[in-house]
Structure 1
Amino acid sequence: MEQLLTKAFAPTRLEVINDSAMHHGHAGDDGSGESHFTVVIESTAFEGQNRVNRQRMVNKALGDIPGDRVHALAIKAGVPGELG
């Protein structure tokens, strides 16, 4: 995920956090330890875009990963300095 997002957005901040352990035994936990993630990304590519469009941009850059290999993906996307 990091490589795809870096290539698509040249982010000034990128965190890909594996939240899978917090969802062990819940729906979507396939036992792989890689089912639930949070992405925190800041990039100038998000300027002028609303929250929904930013999330769509991230999902498009990730291709088949969300919904296929990853059960849940939380996205926090903003311009540099916006997310604190």
Structure 2
Amino acid sequence: MPMASTDIEAMIVEAFPDAIVEITDLAGDGDHYAAKVVSAAFEGMSRVNQQRAVYAALKGKMGGELHALQLTTGVPE
């Protein structure tokens, strides 16, 4: 069963309350998304660690309910 974009956003915001999250359904199928996540919590983290933190916030949904997520992360300017 596909995962709703609102569920993805809610899980990310739960882990990073200050996050600005933009999610795009890339294929219209609820399985392939792009997400941009900007949070002050990423300050001092490498891009790899920022992305690992977001994947951890998804609590194991990647590869199951959520098939693909193109992820862009950053800190507020």
TM-score after normalising by structure 2:
0.82
Three-state SS of the structure 2 residue aligned to 1:68 is: coil
Specify the code of the residue in structure 1 equivalent to 2:17: A
2:20 aligns with one of 13, 23, 29: 13
Q: Equivalent residue for 1:45?
A: 41
Q: Percent identity?
A: 36
- What is the aligned length? 70
Which portions of structure 1, spanning 4 or more consecutive aligned residues, are displaced by more than 4 angstroms?
A: none
Q: Could you list the runs of 5+ residues in structure 1 that have no partner in the other structure?
A: 22-32
Q: Is contact 1:12–1:80 with CA below 8 Å preserved after alignment?
A: no
Q: Could you list the runs of 5+ residues in structure 2 that have no partner in the other structure?
A: 1-7
Three-state SS of the structure 2 residue aligned to 1:69 is: coil
Find the aligned partners of 1:11 and 1:36 in 2 and give their Cα distance: 25
2:76 aligns with one of 67, 75, 80: 80
How far the C-alpha of 1:63 sits from its partner, in A, is 1.1
State the Cα RMSD in Å.
1.2
